[in-house]
Amino acid sequence: MKKGLGKGLDALFSIYEDDDIEVKDSKTETKNENENRVVINGVEELDIRKIDPNKNQPRKKFDANSLKELSESIKQHGIIQPIIVNQEPNGRFTIIAGERRFRASIIAGKSTIPAIIRKYSERQIKEVSLIENLQREDLNPIEAAKAIKELMNEYNFTQEAVADRIGKSRPLVANTLRLLTLSPEVISLIELNKISAGHGKCLVAVEDKKKQLELANFVIENKLTVRDLENLIRNDKASDKVRIPKDKIIQSIELKELGHRMQRLFRTKVKIVGDDQKGKISIAYFNQDDLDRICTFIDKLENH
């Protein structure tokens, strides 16, 4: 049966449960390296010093403020959901799922952490780590794309095969992977949440890498929606000839501030079209009073 997302971690981890995986269902005591370890319903408290992060963890960025908030919660309420670890031959444990909780527990000064122990192969660890992060929506789009690509490259998965294993549609997997064809600068903007994955998927259609970055910066500067960007690109069917409208040229902070100052002085709408090198300034008036006020201000400037 196909294991999709949204079915809970029990369904997620049952993908790999077989005879060589030890699952403890009742309260038992076992000795390990002269320590008594109490296991309750498959969960036991592990020495946090014996746990190592997963070097192949798909998630690379952990927000410092978010970790701090979680650590404060852990101090007050403890760990609500145990982490999942893999038991290594050397007696140590590698995190499969729950690295954020692990990091926050260290910040909170905890010496132990509740964990469920599994025994997986390296491939199983990578797959489960990816699925768990996708299920929780913890990965940014680029992290997800890189993790999917790594699975495909290392284990010769097709897009259809990897889509089946992570519970996503093949078109979604294909569109996610396409983000990796963007210029490095645009990829970085997506990672920093400056533009969305939706913007990135639009920019994939623009073959010119330099133009991709120009459009990405234009999106940021003008707060364009994905639909706005789609329309901008669609207006010129030859995507490598996309032109940013001249009245939408990205302006410097100083030029924008000049426009604001003029609006305050003239107390009417002022529009600046162009950049620091070339352009035009339009001063609007909507009645005789506006025009008189502008004329009076100019008179004062001339007589200054």
3-state SS assignment for residue 211: helix
Q: Which residues, at least 6 apart from 125, have a Cβ–Cβ distance to it below 8 Å? A: 54, 56, 86, 94, 96
Whether 150 is catalytic: no
Q: Which residues, at least 6 apart from 70, have a Cβ–Cβ distance to it below 8 Å? A: 100, 101, 104
Instruction: Kindly state the tokens that stand for 50.
Output: 């014996």
Q: Residue 290: name the closest of 269, 260, 261, 259 by CA.
A: 269
HEC string of 126-140 equals: HHHHHHHHHHHCCCC
Q: Which residues, at least 6 apart from 92, have a Cβ–Cβ distance to it below 8 Å? A: 50, 51, 52
- Tell me, what DSSP letter sits at residue 171? H
- Looking only at the bridges linking them, the beta strands covering 112-118 and 83-87 are parallel
The catalytic residue among 17, 33, 35, 99 is: 99
CA 224 to chain centre: 19
Active site residue ranges: 99
